[in-house]
A and B are shown apart, each in its own frame.
Chain A
Amino acid sequence: MSKNDKLGFLNIDTSLYQTRISNKFLNRKPYQPADPRIILSFIPGTVFDIMTGPGQNVSQGDDLMILDAMKMKNKLKCPIDGIVKSIAVKKGDKVSKGTVLMELE
């Protein structure tokens, strides 16, 4: 152990342990519960088609969008009944996994 070691504290079962804290631990994302009103891309791909528009009523199970990914045309289904608040992408956009595609209300 050299004197230059940067030590922090880790709480395990209410005891504070003096130790090095890994970057992985420091950079972990705080948990956020999933919001069904926010439609995310579940796979990286290209927006092939959008079947709805802002203000439109949509029901659970409706096709919202087609995502061209891994040589497949993947249909994105509506998870809840609601109204399309906004669409964050347009046809031809490349999206990575977890990108916000549209918002419902």
Chain B
Amino acid sequence: MPVNKKIHELREKREKILLGGGEQAIEKQKAMGKRTARERIMALLDENSFNEYDLFVEHDARDFDMDKKSLPSDGVIIGSGTIYGAPVAIFAQDFTVAGGSLGLMHSRKITKIMDHALKMRIPLIGINDSGGARIQEGVNSLAGYGEIFFRNTISSGVIPQLSVILGPCAGGAVYSPALTDFVFVVDKISKMFITGPEVIKTVLGEEISMEDLGGARVHSEITGNAHFFALSEEECFEQIKKLITFIPWNNGQKARMFEPAEPKPEYNINKIVPEDPTLPYDVKDVIRAIVDNSDFFEIMELYAKNIVIGFGRMGGHTTGFVANQPLEMAGVLDVDSSDKAARFIRYCDAFNIPIITLVDLPGYLPGVDQEHAGVIRHGAKVLYAYSEATVPKLTVILRKAYGGGYIAMSSRHLRADFVFAWPSAEIAVMGPEGAANIIFRKEIMSSADPDAMRKQKVEEYKTKFANPYVAASRGYVDAVIEPSETRKFLMHAIEVSENKDVPMPHKKHGLPPF
């Protein structure tokens, strides 16, 4: 039976390779609290959906005795499968094989699956767990990184690209995740940096742990490099799966529709926002009061918390939310929150996801540090992103919308399709206190009781201008609505925007301020 013999041979060959770097290396991986590359793929994808390619690829390096070394699958697993039925291409670096180091064939496997994902217009998921370049392979290894970065860039905005950091990802390797749409990190497992603690110590004499330099928390809270933070690999995979349900397979499609569901009654939209515009509340409660099933999937939860971004569904349609958060730094726009919002707006626009903007902000954060950090340049990103976005743009002004902040937050002037305002909205050039101080300066200064006069003038300004009706009288606001009408108006706006089509002047590409 020659056929059976050959099948048997195949099985034997497979089995040997499937062990990756061998039992000892696997034990080491487990001791670090990490799963193996293959276990990760199995945990992430639908059961029995993974088809592996390039299992038999081997490196052909000759220098430094590399020809005597066999590296199973060259330290990376590639293939495709499904997540809740959605097709995805995937690669996972195998740390048990030569530390997941990237050599020429390793990189060719990755670029093969990247090309496949782009050609088939399906999402790409990359699991990074690698010591970095395979030094023995010299410039070939650098070439490999370059080929990956190029493909990340070309695929950007065409297919969703997700990077999962489940181990070290250091040096040049960090730039592949940085070029992708969403970066997932896990506490104590993910490490990302350009130069590691060793180099920093040698050059500068500064001592820092890997965790403090580039751990999951650092990238979630301080640098803004990561979008999703999890406490375990398991939680991380759940986040990835959930994200996949919200986004389309490519930029030519819309996200899958879900059964519409009403928000939960415990989020009472009439009782969330205090009347006094200086008092805080959690804007996520407003989002939960209007989205299907009160299910809001937040992105970059720990970074620049003064702006909230994420996905929810409105009548079954995936919708992107951008909301000022009065609970954090009064919801101001600043360098970090502008950067965070602008990138998300562009993501939604690239992937046909309508954007709902909830506005309640006092303006931009004052300070030398902000000015010197380039708040002009970074703040401009928000204007740019909203203006160029052609997906349906719906705006609800909940309370304050002052000055430049009003313009930036998806105003009519940046071509919001629908602008709604609650009766509590204050759309004005600046806050009543500041405005009264300037406009009525003379009256206040020359008054016998300046404080009383100031109070009186502030009240006067509030009554006249701190409302939605001046803007509504100009048509800058389409409708002043009761909070309880918000969901109805937004759902209808999304329905009628289904076939929105706006012509744009021809250009190679714009020049956003980055």
The reply on A14 being an interface residue by CB < 8 A is yes
Q: Is A91 an interface residue (CB 8 A)?
A: no
Which of A19-27, A52-60, A73-81, A82-90 is found at the contact surface with chain B? Answer: A19-27
Asked whether A15 and B206 contact (CB < 8 A) given A21-B329, A25-B329, the answer is: no
Would A17 and B280 be within 8 Å (CB), given that A10-B332, A31-B368, A94-B203 are in contact? Answer: yes
Determine how close the nearest CB of chain B comes to the CB of A22; give it in whole angstroms. 6
Q: Please name all residues of chain B whose beta carbon is closer than 8 Å to the beta carbon of A12 when the two chains form the complex.
A: 330, 332, 362-363, 365-366, 431
Contact A44 B327 (CB under 8 A): no
- Chain B residues, Cβ within 8 Å of A35: none
B430 to chain A: closest residue by CB: A13
B279 within 8 A of partner (CB): yes
Q: Closest Cβ of chain A: how far from B127's Cβ, in Å?
A: 31
User: Given A10-B330, A25-B329 in contact, is the A16-B278 Cβ separation under 8 Å?
Assistant: yes
Q: Are A13 and B363 in contact (CB under 8 A)?
A: yes
Are B402 and A20 within 8 A (Cβ)?
A: no
Of A15, A29, A45, A69, which is within 8 A of B278 by CB? Answer: A15
Decide if B204 is an interface residue (CB 8 Å cutoff): yes
**Within the complex, which residue of A15, A19, A69 is in contact with B327, where a contact is CB–CB below 8 Å?**
A19
Residues of chain B lying within 8 A (CB to CB) of residue A96: 204-206
**Residue-wise interface mask of B (189-208) relative to A, using a CB-CB cutoff of 8 A (1 in contact, 0 not):** 00000000000000111100
Contact of B362 with A15 in the complex, beta carbons under 8 Å:
yes
Q: Considering only CB atoms, which chain A residue lies closest to B205 in the complex?
A: A94
**A-chain residues with CB within 8 Å of residue B85 when the two chains form the complex:** none
Would A17 and B362 count as touching, CB distance under 8 A? yes
Is B109 an interface residue, CB under 8 A from the partner?
no
- Residue contact A18 to B280, C-beta cutoff 8 Å: yes
A72 interface residue per 8 A CB criterion = no
Establish whether residues A14 and B281, one from each chain, have CB atoms under 8 Å apart when the complex forms: no
Contact flag A5-B327 (CB < 8 Å), given A17-B280, A96-B204: yes
Contact present for A22 and B306 (CB under 8 Å)? yes
Report Cα–Cα, A16/B336, bound state, in Å: 22
The minimal Cβ–Cβ distance linking A69 to chain B, given in whole angstroms, is 8
Q: A19-B280, A31-B368 are in contact. Are A14 and B434 (CB under 8 A)?
A: yes
Inter-chain residue pair count (beta carbon < 8 A): 79
Binary CB contact string for chain A from 21 to 48 against chain B (1 if under 8 A, 0 otherwise): 1101100110100000000000011000
Pair A1/B329 contact, Cβ less than 8 Å: no
Size category, A interface:
20 to 34
- What chain A residues lie within 8 Å of B281 (beta carbons)? 1
Contact call A1/B280, Cβ cutoff below 8 A: yes
* B459 smallest CB distance to A (angstroms): 14
Tell yes or no: A51 within 8 A of B by CB.
no
Q: Determine whether the beta carbon of B434 is less than 8 Å from that of A17.
A: no
Taking a contact as CB atoms under 8 Å apart, the answer to whether B329 and A10 are in contact is yes
Query: Are B367 and A28 in contact (CB-based, < 8 A)?
Result: yes
- Bound complex: CA of A13 vs CA of B279, how far in Å? 16
- The answer to whether B437 and A14 touch across the interface, beta carbons within 8 angstroms, is yes
CB–CB B369/A28 < 8 A: yes
Contact A44 B204 (CB under 8 A): yes
Q: Are B330 and A17 in contact (CB under 8 A)?
A: yes
Q: Is B451 at the interface (CB under 8 A from chain A)?
A: no
With both beta carbons as reference points, the residue of chain A lying nearest to B280 in the complex is identified as A19
Binding site for B on A (CB under 8 A): 1, 5, 7, 10, 12-22, 24-25, 28-29, 31, 44-45, 69, 94, 96
Q: What is B's interface to A at a CB cutoff of 8 Å?
A: 203-206, 277-282, 285, 305-306, 326-332, 336, 362-363, 365-369, 402, 430-434, 437
13 A/B residue pairs, CB under 8 Å, sorted by A: A1-B285, A12-B362, A13-B431, A13-B433, A13-B434, A15-B362, A17-B278, A19-B326, A20-B305, A25-B329, A44-B204, A94-B205, A96-B205
9 A-B pairs besides A12-B431, A13-B431 with CB distance below 8 A are: A1-B280, A5-B327, A7-B280, A10-B330, A14-B434, A17-B326, A17-B362, A22-B306, A28-B369
